[in-house]
C-alpha cells in the first residue's frame, strides 16, 4: 500500500516528537504500510493488541517473492479502512518451517492466550485458507517489532 495524505499527516505528527538526530535516523530507515485486511472486527482486534503492547510480532506464509522488512525500519499499521493507527519498528525476523515456530514466538504474537497449541491450531487453519499447498513444512516469516507511536 502506498502512503496517503492521512498517512503522511500521521508520520508528520510522529516526526514532531523526535529530536533532529532521531528525525535523520527515521528518514534513513524507510517504512512500509500494511494492515490486517478488510474485516473490521479482525483488524480492530489485532491493531488494538499492538497499541496495548501485547502484540509484538506477526507471521505470514513465506514465499520467495515476499519483501522482508529491514531490521530497524518502520511499519505504519493501518486499520480496515486504511487509516493509520500506529507505527512499529522491526526488531528481527526468522524464516522457519511452520512446525518449528516456538512458544516464545506465539507469546510475542500476542493473539488469543499466547499458547503455542492454540497458535498452531489457529494459524494452521488460517494458512490453509491462503494456500492449498500449506503443510507443516511450509515456511513462515516470523517478524518481531516494537510499538514506537500510536494515534490518539
Q: Residue 82 sits in which domain range?
A: 5-150
Cell numbers at residue 84, please?
493509520
CA dist., res. 64 & res. 131, Å (int): 14
pLDDT of residue 149: 98
Contact 60, 28 (CB under 8 A): no
Tens digits of pLDDT across the chain (152 residues): 778 999 999 999 999 999 999 999 999 999 999 999 878 999 999 999 999 999 999 999 999 888 899 999 999 999 999 999 999 999 999 999 999 999 999 999 998 777 899 999 999 999 999 999 999 999 999 999 999 999 87
Residue 29: give its domain's CATH number. Answer: 3.10.400.10
In total, how many domains does the chain have? 1
Q: pTM of the entire structure?
A: 0.92
CA dist., res. 106 & res. 146, Å (int): 15
Amino acid at each position: 500500500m502506498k502512503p496517503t495524505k492521512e498517512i503522511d499527516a500521521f508520520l508528520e505528527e510522529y516526526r514532531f516528537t523526535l529530536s533532529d538526530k532521531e528525525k535523520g535516523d527515521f528518514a534513513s530507515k524507510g517504512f512500509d504500510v500494511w494492515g490486517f485486511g478488510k474485516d473490521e472486527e479482525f483488524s480492530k482486534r489485532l491493531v488494538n493488541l499492538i497499541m496495548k503492547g501485547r502484540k509484538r510480532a506477526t507471521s505470514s506464509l513465506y514465499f520467495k517473492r515476499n519483501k522482508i522488512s529491514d531490521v530497524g525500519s518502520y511499519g505504519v499499521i493501518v486499520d480496515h479502512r486504511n487509516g493509520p493507527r500506529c507505527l512499529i519498528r522491526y526488531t528481527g525476523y526468522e524464516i522457519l518451517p511452520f512446525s518449528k515456530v516456538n512458544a516464545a514466538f506465539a507469546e510475542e504474537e500476542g493473539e488469543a492466550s499466547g499458547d503455542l497449541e492454540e497458535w498452531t491450531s489457529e494459524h494452521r487453519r488460517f494458512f490453509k485458507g491462503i494456500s492449498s499447498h500449506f503443510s507443516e513444512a511450509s515456511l513462515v516469516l516470523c517478524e518481531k517489532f516494537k510499538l514506537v507511536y500510536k494515534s490518539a
